[in-house]
Structure 1
Amino acid sequence: MITISDTAAERLKEMLAEQETPNMFLRLGVAAGGCSGFSYAMGFDDQESEADVYMDLKDMKVVVEKDDLKYLNGLEIDFEESGMTGGFTIHNPNATVTCGCGSSFRTAKDAGKPNEEPC
């Protein structure tokens, strides 16, 4: 299960409303790379495939590729205001190692594998 805070959902809905392409949704995923092994992917999309799982979170359509679910199960997404800017934060209970900026991670299953990119 993936959790999106009310604050993050509000910000995401605002961003979705600004998209010019109709029927856009939030796509979450992971990609190999980053200083800890995997990087998070979060963006808007309008294309689904048979490899995707659909969820309705906070009245938003959220899509995750089936293979990425094992890395994202339990993921918590929040949005924090800080000064003049703000940003999304991610807490992943599956991550055993994260980089200093929090944009990449490694799980216990992947420990010992070489990193794709340096920090």
Structure 2
Amino acid sequence: MTVQDDTTTETHGAVLTDAAASKAKALLEQEGRDDLALRIAVQPGGCAGLRYNLFFDDRTLDGDLTTDFGGVALTVDRMSAPYIQGATIDFVDTIEKQGFTIDNPNATGSCACGDSFN
């Protein structure tokens, strides 16, 4: 007799690097908030057709997929999940650039300014 475990957990497939998790956690601590998740959403817009929206959110939407990275909850709505499957969210702090970056293997192209993708 075999027993199957049907309690598989669906995940969004995005990864938050240690640097990004540390920066997000520091920003949350600076604000004195521990009730917010870092949400990434894909929305229509930009010259390439789709754009990322990365923000702290206190809402929980039906169908949200959430994964914890170093104490930071990364949340993706069910409609955005296929677009960010396998994406890596990093935080870069160099003399040339500072901020969160998204490396998405699903993006087939982006606009010249890098603000949107398709």
What range describes the TM-score normalised by the shorter chain of this pair? Answer: 0.7 to 0.9
Moved more, 70-79 or 13-22: 13-22
**Aligned counterparts of 2:96 and 2:50: Cα–Cα separation in 1:** 29
CA root-mean-square deviation: 1.7
The C-alpha deviation readout for 1:37-63, integer Å capped at 9, x for no partner, is 001010001110213112112321111
Shift of 1:105: 0.5
Where does residue 96 of structure 1 map in the other structure?
108
Tell whether 2:73 aligns with 1:61. yes
**Aligned counterparts of 1:28 and 1:11: Cα–Cα separation in 2:** 15
The correspondence for 1:42, drawn from 41, 50, 54, is: 54
Shift of 1:67: 0.8
Kindly, what percent of the aligned residue pairs are identical? 36
TM-score, with structure 2 as normaliser: 0.81
Q: How does 1:17-28 map to 2 (within 5 A)?
A: 17-28=29-40
The correspondence for 2:93, drawn from 57, 81, 96, is: 81
Structure with bigger strand share is: 1
Runs of 4 or more above 3 Å deviation: none
TM-score, with structure 1 as normaliser: 0.80
Secondary structure, counterpart of 1:77 in structure 2: strand
Unaligned runs of 5+ in 1: 107-119
Unaligned runs of 5+ in 2: 1-12
Where does residue 11 of structure 1 map in the other structure?
23
